[in-house]
Amino acid sequence: MSELARIVEALLFLASEPVDAGELAQVTGASEPDVADALAELAGAYAPGERGLLLREAAGGWTLASDPIAEDAARALLAKPRLATLTPAQLETLAIVAYLQPVSRPEIARIRGVNADSPVASLLDRNLIEESGRSPFGAVLYRTTTLFLKLFGLDTPSSLPDPSQWDPTPDEERALRERLLAAGEARAGIAAD
């Protein structure tokens, strides 16, 4: 496959919508006839029955599409529920539960310095944490779930990275403090001008 055809293929893979030959020529620096040749080369490589993808002309441009033979399997794959991105509060709460489990909601709130009701409820709804008994004071204790382990590629909670590896040495801490102070002074100087 020619270099231009490989570049056009990559662009079509990355594009969320069909791309016309003129735009492909513009972004590659190639002539439209050369892009047309590259598209013809790709059409041969993606001929029906050859691969799981097809090159299609649609909406005035070109796009890569899945072969209809994969439709049932694609529907099954895409029907699986996907976890939405976790918010910073949810991530912070999940980290606290992961490293301190079993841990109660009041302990989480004390560590975070803010109410933990909403992040805990969201993590319970997403099946990332679960109840694991009660503290001596009657508070519900939480731990991570099997789904958490699976999503984070862990065998057990003890497989979590050692948090001390992120602790700065005294020299690193001093250097960071000096950089922050210098940045603050520079910012104050700009504000004063």
Computed over every residue of the chain, the mean pLDDT equals 86
Q: Give 58's pLDDT tier (boundaries 50, 70, 90).
A: confident
Per-residue pLDDT tens for 127-165? 999 999 998 989 999 999 998 888 888 888 888 888 777
Determine contact, residues 105/117, Cβ cutoff 8 Å: yes
Tell which CATH classification among 2.40.70.10, 3.40.50.300, 1.10.10.10, 1.10.287.3610 matches the domain 3-69: 1.10.10.10
Higher-confidence residue: 78 or 34?
A: 34
Closest CA to 81 of 125, 35, 136: 125
Q: Which CATH architecture has domain 88-164?
A: Orthogonal Bundle (1.10)
Average pLDDT over residues 74-89: 78
Closest CA to 62 of 20, 23, 30: 20
Q: Quick check: do 3-69 and 88-164 share a fold?
A: yes
Question: What pLDDT sits at residue 83?
Answer: 59
